[in-house]
Amino acid sequence: MEEEAKTAHVLVVPFPGQGHLNPMLQFSRRLVSKGLHGTFVVTTYISRSKNLSSSTDPLRFDTISDGFDEGGSKQAASMEAYLSSLHSTGRKTLTDLLKKHQSSSNPIDYVICEPFLLWALDVEKNFGLVAAGFFTHACAVDNIFYNFYRKMSPDPVSGPVSMKGLPTLELQDLPSFIVPPESYPANLKMIMSQFANIEKADFVLIYTFYKLGSEVVETRSKICSLLTIGPTIPSFYLDKRIQKDDDYGIDLHTIDASISISWLNMKPAGSVVYVSFGSIDNINEKQMEEIAWGLKRSNFYFLWVVKISEEAKLPKGFAEEVADKGLIVNWSPLVKVLASEAVGCFLTHCGWNSTIEALSLGVPMVTLPRWSDQPTNAKFVEDVWRVGIRAKVDGDPIVKREEIEFCIKEAMEDVKRNEMMKNSEKWRELAIEAVNEGGTSDRNIDKLVSQFINS
């Protein structure tokens, strides 16, 4: 009797943060839908706190340690301390995990890891495995970081900055880790380290789709074997080819989706401003106050995500004062909310996950970028993809309530909204086209799977 062919087994290792878990988790499910076995690696803390041992997900889950098994990054004294522990403990426990799998009846054949985990690629290559690096920033942002890492661009002093494949960038459009570089030393070190050994990767995967940035994709493709594989959001919102796939499934925050969705279901189409500034962004009290009164002055319905740690920064009595217009929640399922017909625009920090989800769901944006890659994403939202408006700062740096009111009205009711809506729908259609059968991302994923199966 002929022996049955073994199904290829891929191990996926993300950085343990919400904005990193989501796209890589969803991409892993798409690989499983293409016929691979997939094991997704999370930290011990995440596995325990989310009870992943009882998961019915088509993916399997396994764990490594970041050295803070009881509280994750919140347990660490600083970001520097967390990253140091993740480097040392993560390296050792990933090595142990691979030894365990390689001595089992279903060993790992291939690994996909996030280049933020510089050590992960080294560990995988020590086992002789085919490996891919999965970049979770926009391709444009990766190109900026790469240019500065390789010193292909001069240190910005007064701007503007020109790079091949990108529009001209002012200082305000560059990632905060570059301008000024001394502001976030631990983050900058981690960002730049992702290029230190990326040449060891057999493939580089970019969380975007080709037509969203063909020029910069072509530029980066001349440097490495690059595949665009996005958007990697739940299939229900795009191509609908993966059954029962309407949520990411691992959320590091407690969510009661019914509160937000039930409230939205009672609102007219296009009448709600959705406000969310991501999982780690901290906004100072003055800016929170300006956002609050800007929302009230706009006189639109709004759904605002305010983390428990940020609630004290709201103006006293604000929630009660706007109860007829606004709902304030501690967290919400972003992709499900953006998919609601009631949402007319998205007031966002412009992190890449939030940005590509809004693009994929055809929602115009008002952007308040603050740090990291957000300023660059905001530049593209307003000037390249033309699906939003960037709120202007006015000292401190603070975006004043009058500016927030103005931008919301531009996105919700002015003539400019028509252009934003037209362009938003165009990018949504192109996102669906990319992941649908025969699209650019679908073909790239098939190419990757074929390489995995046949190598």
Q: Is residue 89 part of a domain?
A: yes
Q: What is the dihedral sign for C-alpha 15, 376, 141, 146? A: negative
Contact between 239 and 428 under an 8 Å Cβ cutoff? The reply is: no
pLDDT in tens, 368-383: 998 889 999 999 999 9
Q: Is residue 205 part of a domain?
A: yes
Say whether both 362 and 346 belong to one domain. Answer: yes
Q: Is residue 313 part of a domain?
A: yes
Residues 284 and 358: their CA atoms lie apart, in Å, by: 25
Q: Is residue 278 part of a domain?
A: yes
Q: Is residue 252 part of a domain?
A: no
Contact between 131 and 202 under an 8 Å Cβ cutoff? The reply is: yes
> How far is CA 203 from each of CA 9, 68, 225, 228, 356, rounded to the nearest angstrom?
17, 31, 5, 11, 22
Q: Which residues contact 68 (CB under 8 A, 6 or more apart)?
A: 43, 45, 74, 75, 76, 82, 85
CATH at 391: 3.40.50.2000
Contact between 293 and 302 under an 8 Å Cβ cutoff? The reply is: no
Q: Is residue 251 part of a domain?
A: no
Residues 115 and 113: their CA atoms lie apart, in Å, by: 6
270's tokens = 């296009």
Give one word for 199, left, alpha or beta, with left for phi > 0 and alpha for psi -120 to 50: alpha
Instruction: State the pLDDT at residue 53.
Output: 64
**446-452 — which CB contacts under 8 Å span 24+ positions?**
446/34, 447/227, 448/31, 448/132, 448/203, 448/205, 448/227, 448/229, 449/8, 449/31, 449/34, 449/35, 449/36, 451/130, 451/202, 451/203, 452/8, 452/10, 452/36, 452/109, 452/110, 452/130
Q: Domain residues for 108?
A: 9-241+436-454
Say whether both 143 and 54 belong to one domain. Answer: yes
Residues 348 and 342: their CA atoms lie apart, in Å, by: 17
Say whether both 316 and 210 belong to one domain. Answer: no
pTM of the predicted model as reported, rounded to 2 decimal places: 0.94
42's tokens = 């999370």
* β 388-390/343-348 pair status: unpaired
pLDDT in tens, 123-134: 999 999 999 999
Say whether both 418 and 301 belong to one domain. Answer: yes
* pLDDT one digit per residue (tens) for the chain, 455 residues: 344 457 899 999 999 988 899 999 999 999 999 999 999 999 999 998 877 765 668 899 999 999 999 999 889 998 889 999 999 999 999 999 999 999 999 999 999 999 989 899 999 999 999 999 999 999 999 999 998 888 766 666 667 888 999 999 998 999 988 877 667 777 788 888 889 999 999 999 999 999 999 999 999 998 888 999 999 999 999 999 998 898 887 776 666 678 899 999 999 999 999 999 987 667 899 999 999 999 999 999 999 999 888 999 999 999 999 999 999 998 888 999 999 999 999 999 999 999 999 999 999 999 999 888 999 999 999 999 999 999 999 877 899 999 999 999 999 998 889 999 999 999 999 999 999 999 999 999 999 998 877 76
Say whether both 222 and 370 belong to one domain. Answer: no
- Tell me the pLDDT of the chain averaged across its residues: 91
Q: Is residue 46 part of a domain?
A: yes
Say whether both 79 and 190 belong to one domain. Answer: yes
Give CA torsion, residues 73, 78, 81, 82, to 10 deg. 20
Instruction: State the pLDDT at residue 5.
Output: 57
Say whether both 408 and 446 belong to one domain. Answer: no
Report the domain count for the chain: 2
Say whether both 418 and 448 belong to one domain. Answer: no
CB atoms inside a 10 Å sphere around CB 50? 16
Residues 163 and 150: their CA atoms lie apart, in Å, by: 13
Say whether both 327 and 203 belong to one domain. Answer: no
432's tokens = 């669906």
Residues 397 and 177: their CA atoms lie apart, in Å, by: 17
